[in-house]
Chains A and B, each alone.
Chain A
Amino acid sequence: MPILPRYLKSGDTVGLVCPAGRMSLARMRTCLRILEQEWGFRVRRGQTLGAGDGYFSGTDAERAADLQEMLDDDSVRAVLCARGGYGMTRIIDLINFSRFVRHPKWVIGFSDITVLHMHLYAQYGVVTLHAPMAAAFQQGGWRKPSVRSLHQALTGHVYQYASPAHPFDRPGTGQGLLVGGNLALLAHLVGSPSFPRTEGNILFLEEVGETLYNIDRMMRQLLRSGQLERLAGLVIGGFTDSRDTERPFGQTAYEIVRDVVEPFPYPVCFGFPVSHGPENLALKAGSLHRLFVAEGAVLSDLSEMPSPRQQSGRKCR
């Protein structure tokens, strides 16, 4: 049974942290302004904001301590990770989640933060928000559907996202807990205690800046490790800025994915608005969803429905 943190209302406090890569304060300014002035939240600023002088926003210990404090501070109702990059796996085992599990709150982010989402799902069943981070607020981004969807999801709006038809779509209906995130990070979690159970679940994937052969390699890893066999459904987001090698791989990212899951019966939708691009709708990771693919796809948030385990789409086999 997924644990759904309490939704936010105006006046609640959002903690802003930088648990992975370094980010300048200047690039967070819009995000801070919108959180406080437009959305009416209070913001608690973590020690790691604008901190660090190299790759990370502080040492592993500093980043872990900052995140720990936000997770344990009862006045903070949501923890927004300002940026991904790389660094979450280095500190995830340093965090003590015992207080957080008793007093769950929303954890928000994507990309490298996939590690945190999937760890919280795999270990504790706490629902998290896979959603845009601070940079997405800039240059009017906060007015666009993606950042607005974060505000809506955070304040209790139950969503139903539509995605346009794609020629590779495979029709059908599936229901299960929504797990996934960034493909590279998921592949990097295989074998670790943070890897999510995919059986009976809806898996969603997005990727950025990877070489095509490596996308194929990671998809094959998920396939070979049995993680693609018994899904309730598969949601493929943007595979933006994919690169090729000197000897062309000969397939696009979507062709790779299509071929890898070809043997399986579950519904698949391509081009879903979750990505490193401007289209990145907030998703409740670890929570019950229904995927309907026909002419286009609809992903429905069923988090208000009871007993998801009994209703998960394991019958699809």
Chain B
Amino acid sequence: MERGDFLQQMGWLLMGLLPGWSRGDGLWRRGVLPPFLREGDLIGLTAPSGAIQPAEVAPAVSVLQAWGFRVQLGETLGLQDGSLGGSDAQRAADLQRMIDNPLVCAIFCARGGYGVTRMVDALNLGEFRRHPKWIVGFSDITALHLHIWRQTGVISLHSKMCGSFPAQWLEAPSLVQETLLSIRHALTGHAVPLACPPHMADRSGLAEGPLVGGNLSMIHTCMGTRSEIDTRGAILFLEDVGEYPYSIDRMLTNLQRAGKFNQLQGLVIGGFTQMKKELPGEAFGRSLEQMVLEKVPAGFPVCFGFPIGHQLENYALLHGQRYRLEVTEDGSTLEISVPG
């Protein structure tokens, strides 16, 4: 056992004695919810992954302001180092400043791309543990969600980022408005249950547990690291974009061989969009549903086509929050489980 893991487990033991850290089903802790946002609260915008220009975040800034929040632009906006939003040190420092700044109530990651795993180990989460705040984003930010959850047990927000905000809010399609409003609702403590139409390959059932996951490639690339996903007793959700089918199969096989599907309570499959074209004669020839179902053991519900991913239908989800998943022949629902 590594030192970090040992300390962490000792930490859980101690936390189990504290109120608010009751260990759920004997094994499972409840996450720590950062304080919900109120009007006038400050949201910090930073680029921990790919480069983004201040002009590109302008639509998001004006919408966040219209929702009543104040916005602080991080120093990484406008920086560029190759495809990254500044050097590893610059990106880590910008994020660290927002973590340590008591006035910042939520940290909104401007975009994904690639870069979190290059600097996440440089973060000092001491202040974050004492004063948790919301971390918002998805895709590459999955690594940050996983890291935060594993290292601090703090709940974070898996949602759209700046590029999804329309220049003209009023002219935006209602689906765009609705998915973006789910961010506001979640941040202010008014998250609504999500519904999903039935899918041929769904496996019915009822599940409850902390919701963990996100981008499959990122979950996969965090294996063996301090950010490795813990799926025991959890509802796992997965999405990915722009991968070859064989590569998706390979990543799922790796999770399977690492035992990550063995103690699941439920599985939620979101969008696997823009799959790369295969060479003629090299078609993998298996559907996503086949790839998933042949690898997961029986005994828990599985739902396909859930509205999360690199797509218009990408609703905000609280990573680490205890959810209740119900999959029936009439469709699926995913809602925050009420303690009691």
Of B82, B250, B258, which is within 8 A of A191 by CB? B258
Given A86-B250, A191-B254, A216-B118, residue A247 in contact with residue B225 (CB < 8 A): no
Distance in Å from the Cβ of B226 to the closest Cβ of chain A? 7
A103 contacts which chain B residues (CB < 8 A)? none
Question: For the complex, is B251 an interface residue (Cβ under 8 Å from A)?
Answer: yes
A225 B82 Cβ-Cβ under 8 A: no
B83 A221 Cβ-Cβ under 8 A: no
Segment of A138-146, A248-256, A278-286, A299-307 engaged in the interface with chain B = A248-256
A191 contacts which chain B residues (CB < 8 A)? 223-224, 228, 254, 257-258
B127 contacts which chain A residues (CB < 8 A)? none
A55 B283 Cβ-Cβ under 8 A: yes
Question: For the complex, is B114 an interface residue (Cβ under 8 Å from A)?
Answer: yes
Mark interface residues in A263-299 (1 if CB within 8 Å of B CB, else 0): 0000000000000000000000000000000000000
Question: For the complex, is B285 an interface residue (Cβ under 8 Å from A)?
Answer: yes
A249 B257 Cβ-Cβ under 8 A: no
Question: What is the predominant secondary structure among interface residues of chain A facing chain B?
Answer: loop
- The residues in B between 282 and 301 inclusive whose CB is less than 8 angstroms from any CB of A are 282-286
Segment of A8-16, A34-42, A182-190 engaged in the interface with chain B = A182-190
Number of interface residues of B (CB under 8 A): 34
Of B50, B222, B258, which is within 8 A of A192 by CB? B258
- The residues in A between 210 and 265 inclusive whose CB is less than 8 angstroms from any CB of B are 213, 216-218, 220-221, 224-227, 245, 247-251
A187 B228 Cβ-Cβ under 8 A: no
B223 A225 Cβ-Cβ under 8 A: yes
Give complex CA distance A187, B82 in Å: 24
Give complex CA distance A191, B262 in Å: 14
A193 B223 Cβ-Cβ under 8 A: no
Give complex CA distance A195, B117 in Å: 21
B114 A216 Cβ-Cβ under 8 A: yes
A189 contacts which chain B residues (CB < 8 A)? 254
- The residues in B between 50 and 94 inclusive whose CB is less than 8 angstroms from any CB of A are 50-51, 81-84
Interface residues of A (CB under 8 A from B): 54-55, 86, 89-90, 92-93, 187-195, 213, 216-218, 220-221, 224-227, 245, 247-251
